[in-house]
Amino acid sequence: MSYSIGILGTSGFTGKECLRLLGMHPEFEVTCQQSLREEPGEGLGYAGALHEDKSNGLDLSQLDGLDAVLVCGPHERSATLVPQLLKVVPKVVDLSAAYRLADTSLYPRFYGFDHPRPDLLADRVFGLTEWARDDLKEARLVANPGCYVTSVLLPIKALLESGCVAEGSDLIADCKSGVSGAGKSLGPSTHFSSVHEDFRAYAVGSHRHEPEIREQLGTDRLYFTPHLLPVFRGILSTLHVKPAPGLTVSDLREALEARYAEEAFVEILPEGLPCLSQVQGSNLCRIGLVGHGDRVVLVSCLDNLVKGAAGQALQNLNVMFGIPETLGLQQASLAPRGWR
């Protein structure tokens, strides 16, 4: 059986990645792609060799009959667009942050707008796939998690759930992202001449992903510091936790191995630490642990455009339609000289 999928926002990095992955999926067919830019069809020149830009300007009438829509637009635009989409399509996966936060008071501070539909926030599913399967099966609206957020939540949620973290202790998330995490719009800090041969921290104490992580973990003791790497793809998060009394790094590794033993896209390393080149282009999150004094340091790596965005969206779609979760994703790795 083939399902008809629409993608809104095909001119940006995440939209292009959705096109790449859906193009390899045996049961999903992209039958509608629309740009959310003011100039329809304006795409990414270097991606043109892989994806012919067939997008049109936004026209909701073209969405009638689709089985699902992926929204890859700006946050505030998506916040107003999603309610319109739910009137014409049965399932929506929003890759923006418009529906990630349940607390409406956080939107003005971190995103600069009042949320237009608080009622939908109560019904949406936060789509961290490995933790949301039961809810995804009946979901109409899925809020795809942020890329930094996914890299932090996958290890830390499992450790908190298993009681492996000392009660009341701080959680330190020292995270690095490739420049594609900032989106397509050019800014002074993401221009090639700014990132080349440089490395910097940014938005310390004010980054939009910190409240998302804290809300999902249920703690304000998570301290998140993002950094910009001079690479295009990838997230590498270094996480510092204090184990519960009597526990060692081996105990924490065993807890993670037990939680993710059956997961296709989360790999706990028996030794050593992961690096970006091991995950780029794939839907895999690799996690390694080492002891450091009375702390355990975890390194969590994923591709921000795949497991941190389009790949997780496709993984969620698979669950929503009741088809094998790995379909279209096991062969997701970039071909040589694929778009970067």
Active site residue 147: yes
Using the predicted structure, report yes or no on whether residue 280 has a pLDDT greater than 50.
Answer: yes
Nearest partner of 102 among 212, 208, 207, judged by Cα: 212
pLDDT of residue 61: 84
pLDDT digits (tens, 9 = 90+) for 35-78: 886 544 444 443 333 444 455 567 888 899 999 999 999 999 99
Contact at 8 Å (CB) between 260 and 268?
yes
Supply the pLDDT for residue 332. 64
Q: What is the mean pLDDT of residues 111-121?
A: 95
What's residue 41's pLDDT? Answer: 42
- Contact at 8 Å (CB) between 115 and 107? yes
Note the pLDDT tens digit of each residue in 148-207: 999 999 999 999 999 999 999 999 999 999 876 555 555 555 545 455 556 567 767 767
Strand ranges in 16-88 using DSSP code E only, listed in sequence order: 28-35, 56-57, 68-71
CATH architecture of 147-302: 2-Layer Sandwich (3.30)
In which band, very low, low, confident or very high, does the pLDDT at 147 lie, cut at 50, 70 and 90? Answer: very high
Q: Percent of the chain, pLDDT > 90? A: 75
Q: Where are the domains of the chain?
A: 3-145+306-320, 147-302
pLDDT higher than 50, residue 338: no
Its pTM stands at: 0.90
- Please identify which of the residues 147, 164, 175, 285 carries the catalytic annotation: 147
CATH architecture, domain defined by 3-145+306-320 = 3-Layer(aba) Sandwich (3.40)
- Give the pLDDT band (50/70/90) at residue 208: confident
